[in-house]
Amino acid sequence: MVAEVEWPDDEDRTELLRLVERFALVLAESGWPRMPARVFSFVLADDADRYTAAELAAGVGVSPAAISGAVKYLTRVGLLSKEREPGARIDVYRIFDEDVWGTIFRQRVPSLERYEQAAAEGAEMLPRGSMGARRMRETQEFYRFLRLEEEQVLDRWSAHRQALFGDTTNGT
């Protein structure tokens, strides 16, 4: 069962929600849909490790209907995980506490591979020497480069994270 979110006092909750709104605004300004940005910001800043949709709605201060679309988006893009406890009928959502950003970015590697492959197919289909073929080949190489660099950056991030935080399983 998911623990109820407890707030020490109204002032702490107000400060948390201000932080959530500020961070969500930054995400929204960079292209995120507004409600998923708010929900993700809340889950990132709050202490619980799992939430029901009702708990997210209460935490963010919105209707359960607004949460539904947000969690669908966040699970589809790999920012939250949807789980169900054995025997339970309610889904719970969680963030990847083991390594929030490393996990999220590692999930992008297969997408980069698909972009690379699609561009390679496009480059092969187009007439050799054409501008379109050159651009598709450049796109293929860009995604190949990005994929290889991202894998190396994530390996360095893991080492850096370990040096900074040591055992990070409890988030301290």
| Confidence (pLDDT) at 166 | 86
Are residues 78 and 154 located together in one domain of the fold? no
* Number of domains the chain is built from: 2
Residue 52 φ/ψ, nearest 5 degrees: -85, 165
Are residues 90 and 152 located together in one domain of the fold? no
Q: Domain range holding 43?
A: 10-94
pLDDT band at 11 (very low <50, low <70, confident <90, very high): confident
Span 121-140, mean pLDDT? Answer: 96
Rounded-to-integer distance, Cα 99 and Cα 95, Å = 9
Are residues 84 and 116 located together in one domain of the fold? no
Are residues 90 and 21 located together in one domain of the fold? yes
Residue 172 lies in a domain: no
Residue 109 φ/ψ, nearest 5 degrees: -55, -45
Kindly list the distances between the CA atom of residue 45 and the CA atoms of 97, 126, 167, in Å, as whole numbers in the listed order: 11, 48, 20
Query: Helices 34-45 & 10-29, crossing angle to 10 degrees?
Result: 130
Place of tokens 């301290």: 172
Are residues 128 and 79 located together in one domain of the fold? no
Are residues 159 and 129 located together in one domain of the fold? yes
Residues 6+ positions from 75 with CB-CB distance below 8 Å = 81, 82, 93
Domain boundary among 94, 111, 145: 94
Residue 47 lies in a domain: yes
Over residues 15-65, the pLDDT tens digits come to 999 999 999 999 999 999 999 999 999 999 998 989 999 999 999 999 988
Are residues 82 and 105 located together in one domain of the fold? no
- Among 88-92, 116-120, 127-131, where is mean pLDDT lowest? 88-92
Domain of residue 65, CATH code: 1.10.10.10
